[in-house]
Amino acid sequence: MNSLIVYYSRTGKNEELAKILQKKLGCEIERIEEYVSRNGVLGFLRSGMQATFKKMSEIKPTKNDPKDYDIIIVVSPIWAGHIPPPVRTYIYKNKEKIGKIAYASVSYSGYGNTRVLKDLEHLASKKVSAHLLLKEKEMASKAHLNAIESFLNNLNKL
């Protein structure tokens, strides 16, 4: 299956996960980037507020066309139990071009996981074909390795 990993990461955890998946799948990878900074306390607060109110944000042009791929694997943190604005923007902009969609995430506690999956399905107007929901402490230990293998197996079955 021809896969494209599209990821957003503010502090590097989801970038790490995206790159592990990219190595295993040997597929294209693309980072979602914004024009504005989300650094510092104000950046944190603004991010939480915007995510809660399902806001979108302006993102830089992306280079890969999702319609050239069988599946888009979205890798992203969870903010205030919601999808971060730049990820919401990417999916909204590309929903007509996305065939299958899978979702992988590293979040702090997993708070909001279920809502994010539902929201993603609503936003993309399709089922999430496979998902991988990790907590930071699992990424920091070896606990993520089995979960990643099982996610990859699920992708292989599609």
**Strands, E, within the chain: which ranges?**
3-7, 28-31, 71-75, 100-107, 128-135
53 binds ligand FMN (CB under 6 A): no
103 binds ligand FMN (CB under 6 A): no
92 binds ligand FMN (CB under 6 A): no
106 binds ligand FMN (CB under 6 A): yes
DSSP label of 59 = B
Closest by CA to 87, choosing from 20, 18, 23, 31, is 31
CA distance 107 to 127: 21
**Six-digit token pair at 131?**
């998902």
Q: How far is the CB of 139 from ligand FMN (least distance, A)?
A: 8
10 binds ligand FMN (CB under 6 A): yes
Residue 143: strand, helix, or coil: helix
Out of 34, 48, 55, 117, the only residue in the binding site for ligand FMN (CB under 6 A) is 48
Q: How far is the CB of 82 from ligand FMN (least distance, A)?
A: 7
Tell me phi and psi for residue 139, to 5 degrees.
-65, -35
DSSP label of 72 = E
**Number of amino acids touching ligand FMN (CB under 6 A):** 23
Out of 3, 47, 57, 89, the only residue in the binding site for ligand FMN (CB under 6 A) is 47
108 binds ligand FMN (CB under 6 A): yes
148 binds ligand FMN (CB under 6 A): no
DSSP label of 55 = -
Q: How far is the CB of 81 from ligand FMN (least distance, A)?
A: 4
CA distance 43 to 38: 4
Question: Which residues contact ligand FMN (rule: CB under 6 A)?
Answer: 9-15, 44, 47-48, 77-81, 106-112, 136
